[in-house]
Amino acid sequence: MATGAARARPRERDSGDAQAYLGVIASARGYTWRERLAPGAANTALAISQQHGLPELLGRVLAARGINIEDVPNVLEPTIRALMPDPSTLNDMDKAARRLADAVVKRERVAVFGDYDVDGACSSALMRRFLNAHGLDATIYIPDRMFEGYGPNIPAIQGLVEKGAQLIVTVDCGTTSFEALAPQHRGRTDVLVIDHHQADEQLPDVTAVVNPNRQDDLSGLGHLCAAGVVFMLLVATTRELRRRGHYEKAGAPPDLLAMLDLVALATVCDVVPLQTLNRAYVTRGLEVMRQRQNVGLRALVDAAGLNQPPTPYLLGFVLGPRINAGGRIGDAALGARLLSLDDETEAARIAVQLDKLNRERKAIETQMLEEATAEADRLIDEIPDLPMLVVASERWHKGVVGLVASRLVERFGRPACVIAWEGPDQGTGSLRSIAGVDIGSAVRAATAEGLLLKGGGHAMAAGLTVAREKFEAARMYLAQQVVSPATTARAARALEIDGALTPAAVNDTLIELIERAGPYGQGNPQPRFVFPAHRVRFAKIMGEAHLRVTLEADDGSRLEGIAFRAVGQPLGELLTNTGGMPIHVAGNLRRDTWGGRQRIELQIEDAADPRR
């Protein structure tokens, strides 16, 4: 029944966009709805189903995500062995592995310099756990977001050298830190840079720079987060230590696969594409996480009150924000410390502290978002075709600007930059983008033009520091850099649909079928289904901005749904003011545990009035 419903072809309007799914060309959120499976891929979907003995719905889901027939086994059963290439394919990897192996053999003092986000915390914890397993008590240094900003800085690096660090490993940062990592300490301290951010042609003068996004790197692994690159370094270093015969005297090497829970957490939270190796990282990492071996992660799960198996959704929207909360409004090192320790009492204390900080962060974000939205509305009223939103205020907390930028992108469908002024001279900002607009290259270009004091990032997210006197020039320059791709992207603004269902088709069998093509996330989108011509039989506001509804089909079958942050938005208005008339509702299905009872609910992403 589910398969047949999902195959149903949408009707076409006599006028308007003939390709619009169910004829929807302007939904509540301003989207045109389109079928995700391209017409030419229907034969591929059928071939996948027939050749691999899969239900037709699963074949359609796979084909719609560009999966080739021969790749299906690695997609449905992704393994590290099958999907990880030789680490040596990365530039400088062998240099880095030899130097890290030297540190292990010589029992050197090692310092790990990380970033304050989830990827940085996981990368730092990975490196420290690996070194601890070899008897080295590595130091982790996480810069304070408020006072030091992103990446290595001269005072911090000098401090680590003066404390006796013979090797400094920067993780999730360092690619553009030329001054801080200048070779003035050569002979005393070596530096390894392990990163994934976009790079210019020039690189720091250090022992090794392992970054798949180096311009001269041909590994094809630019989709990895930093923790994914760090894991490959640990594999390469273990191999080097084996070659030297180290484990013949020192005992068995550490179980690297047992550390994949940290790699999975970082991969999901850094929103990198869940394709090829990243799929294996997340799939196998979730299996490790279910075993609750990492003391810090276990404490965080308990502090968050989770009583269900980990999923990418829970990693990205429950655990990740709590780890980030330390870097945003508290002690930036809390996350890395939590993930790298084995003391249960200390882990519980830190987890509770991060949970409290996360609640405080939510309150700050709510106030900032209200002000930023008002300013964005004003800018768009003045320039309706504004390609990019750039807003700034002295009242805003710079640790939360990235979250607010994401909310603005979500609401206005265009790239956004949110800046918190720090005193009279400069401000710190975070940028978030939309598919098809490379915000990282725009920021690097503005930095090269001298319009920004500092800037970097990748296609979908970036950060910057700007002098107040250059603010207007920088804002205009960034808008000019993205105007063409942003205009194209917004014109093609569409919500892709995998099929149509009714509540009667939604059951555990359907969910298990959908989950086979997971894990879902960036680059492997969660299947999105439409429930056509359903009536809203119940609607209730939850918290301040969420809306819980009950949908009913003509046959009387019902499905619970929730629309996050919909109150006061066009989506919320449509759901609560249907006048009893049927509407089309689109979203993704997920398992939810509430009050000890597990159920399936629809996470509502959009809706449309069939009469329009």
Tell me the mean pLDDT in the region 217-227: 97
Containing 96, the helix (H) or strand (E) segment is: helix 93-106
Are 302 and 294 in contact by the 8 Å Cβ rule? The answer is no
Average pLDDT for the chain? 93
Question: What percentage of the chain carries pLDDT values higher than 70?
Answer: 96
pLDDT category, 117, cuts 50, 70, 90? very high
Question: For domain 82-356, is the CATH number 3.40.190.10?
Answer: no
pLDDT category, 5, cuts 50, 70, 90? very low
Beta strands in 178-330 (DSSP E): 190-194, 208-210
Beta strands in 102-226 (DSSP E): 110-114, 139-141, 167-171, 190-194, 208-210
2-36+498-608 shares its CATH topology with 82-356: no
596, pLDDT greater than 70:
no
1, pLDDT greater than 80:
no
Instruction: State residue 77's pLDDT score.
Output: 95
314, pLDDT greater than 50:
yes
Tens digits of per-residue pLDDT, 391-414?
999 999 999 999 999 999 999 999
Question: Considering the domain 2-36+498-608, what is its CATH architecture?
Answer: Beta Barrel (2.40)
Instruction: State residue 265's pLDDT score.
Output: 98
Specify the CATH number of the domain 383-493: 3.10.310.30
Distances in Å between the Cα of 184 and the Cα atoms of 151, 397, 496 are 18, 35, 53
Q: Is 75 left (phi over 0), alpha (psi -120 to 50) or beta?
A: alpha
Task: Return the HEC string of 421-481.
Answer: EECCCEEEEEEECCCCCCHHHHHHHHHHCCCCCEEEECCCEEEEEEEHHHHHHHHHHHHHH
Tell me the mean pLDDT in the region 427-434: 94
560, 514, 555: which is closest to 536 by C-alpha? 560
pLDDT category, 541, cuts 50, 70, 90? very high
Tell me the mean pLDDT in the region 242-256: 96
441, pLDDT greater than 70:
yes
Tens digits of per-residue pLDDT, 21-51?
999 999 999 999 999 999 889 999 999 999 9
Q: Say what angle helices 118-133 and 260-269 make with each other, to 10 degrees.
A: 170
* 103 vs 490 pLDDT, higher one: 103
Tell me the mean pLDDT in the region 150-154: 90
Tell me the mean pLDDT in the region 505-522: 94
DSSP label at residue 318: I
What one-character-per-residue DSSP string does 337-351 give?
HHHH---HHHHHHHH
**Domain residue extents for the chain:** 2-36+498-608, 44-77, 82-356, 383-493
Instruction: State residue 2's pLDDT score.
Output: 38
* 594 vs 359 pLDDT, higher one: 359
245, pLDDT greater than 70:
yes
Tell me the mean pLDDT in the region 449-457: 92
Tell me the mean pLDDT in the region 159-173: 96
Instruction: State residue 598's pLDDT score.
Output: 79
Distances in Å between the Cα of 477 and the Cα atoms of 155, 235, 427, 456 are 32, 43, 17, 15
Residue type, 497: I
Are 375 and 327 in contact by the 8 Å Cβ rule? The answer is no
